[in-house]
């Protein structure tokens, strides 16, 4: 009989308990919690709509945003470059965006040019050449993993047309305002979102893109209407290659000498390598511990704010890395070319 697959929270706790090369440091956990509390108190960070100020996307609380987010998060992976200053970038309205923001800018740019990139009827038959043209970088280079992105767009289009009458909105409606049910629907129906692995004989899951899709919907709708998920706390942080940098920067995670040397040598890990899963699992568990630590802080009531859950802590850490990118270049990150993050 095959082992039971653990959800991301259970997976993270298990991985942290058997980790050999990544250690979670309680002092660092407290440091992160204190920094979040300080940033909230000073209004430097407000747990409000994560999307509205930072993402180059149409901020409308309607069905069109659901389809927009689905395409963005179906393609939300692997934007890094071997050279620190050569990451994937796209210009929109005179502003240069990098990484995931560049993907968002490319989607918006396409829509403004009359290309219906968020319509499943369009991308189910999209050509590789069209994908390349839509997501071409400012330097004229193709987006990383172009073939995979082309395949995923077509696959998602076929599934939406066959199962959800061509709209991810219908999948969201089926979730009946449950974040967990929506996560399960995404993972069950869309193979490219099945971000899983095996460590010490146990099946573990991370579901970075599936969880961030749920959280993005929750965020853009401010926890209301289509984003009204009664169980949003069932979602963990989104285990990628950037948030661990911030956790290591604050001392919440510590790498072994062997792992640190591998990271500093630009070693290319494979998705499913033990070291990679330890980094990702311990990142998720660290954020769970930070969330618990934050309960000891008394925040002023902010009626218009969203709660400080794992998704919001992830956003703080991810945004911190972007704001202090130069300072954090000294912290190496793990490099993997895969479709999951």
- According to DSSP, the β-strands at 268-269 and 335-336 are parallel
Catalytic-role residue among 233, 240, 261, 273 = 240
Phi/psi at 145 (5° precision) = 55, 45
* CB 156 within 8 Å of CB 70: yes
CA-CA distance, 50 to 220, in Å (whole number)?
A: 7
Distance between CA 191 and CA 74 in Å, rounded?
Answer: 11
What SS3 state is found at 54?
Answer: coil
Q: List all residues 6 or more positions away from 12 whose beta carbon is below 8 Å from its beta carbon.
A: 236, 281, 282, 283, 284, 285, 288
Cβ count near 281 (within 10 Å): 26
The reply to whether 240 belongs to the active site is yes
Q: Map residue 272 onto helix, strand or coil.
A: coil
Query: Which residues are marked as active site?
Result: 240
């Amino acid at each position: 009989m095959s082992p039971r697959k653990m959800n991301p929270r259970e997976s993270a706790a298990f991985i942290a308990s058997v980790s050999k090369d990544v250690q979670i440091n309680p002092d660092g956990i407290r440091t992160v919690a204190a920094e979040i509390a300080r940033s909230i108190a000073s209004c430097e960070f407000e747990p409000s709509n994560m999307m509205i100020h930072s993402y180059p996307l149409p901020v409308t609380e309607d069905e069109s945003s659901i389809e927009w987010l689905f395409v963005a998060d179906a393609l939300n992976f692997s934007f890094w470059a071997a050279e620190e200053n050569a990451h994937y970038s796209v210009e929109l309205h005179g502003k240069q965006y990098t990484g995931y923001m560049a993907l968002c800018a490319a989607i918006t740019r396409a829509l403004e040019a009359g290309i219906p990139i968020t319509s499943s009827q369009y991308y189910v038959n999209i050509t590789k050449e069209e994908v390349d043209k839509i997501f071409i970088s400012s330097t004229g280079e193709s987006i990383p993993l172009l073939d995979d992105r082309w395949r995923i767009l077509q696959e998602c289009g076929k599934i939406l047309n066959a199962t959800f009458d061509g709209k991810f909105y219908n999948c969201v409606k089926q979730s009946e305002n449950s974040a967990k049910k929506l996560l399960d629907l995404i993972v069950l129906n869309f193979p490219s979102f099945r971000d899983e692995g095996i460590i010490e004989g146990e099946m573990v899951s991370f579901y970075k893109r599936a969880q961030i899709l749920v959280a993005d919907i929750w965020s853009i709708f401010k926890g209301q209407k289509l984003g009204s998920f009664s169980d949003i706390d069932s979602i963990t942080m989104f285990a990628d290659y950037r948030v661990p940098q911030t956790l290591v920067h604050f001392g919440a995670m510590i790498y072994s000498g062997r792992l640190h040397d591998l990271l500093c040598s630009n070693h290319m890990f494979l998705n499913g390598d033990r070291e990679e899963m330890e980094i990702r699992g311990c990142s998720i568990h660290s954020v769970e511990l930070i969330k618990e630590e934050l309960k000891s802080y008394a925040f002023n009531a902010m009626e218009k704010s969203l709660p400080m859950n794992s998704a919001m802590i992830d956003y703080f850490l991810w945004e911190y890395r972007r704001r202090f990118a130069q300072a954090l270049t000294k912290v190496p990150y793990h490099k993997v070319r895969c479709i999951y993050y």
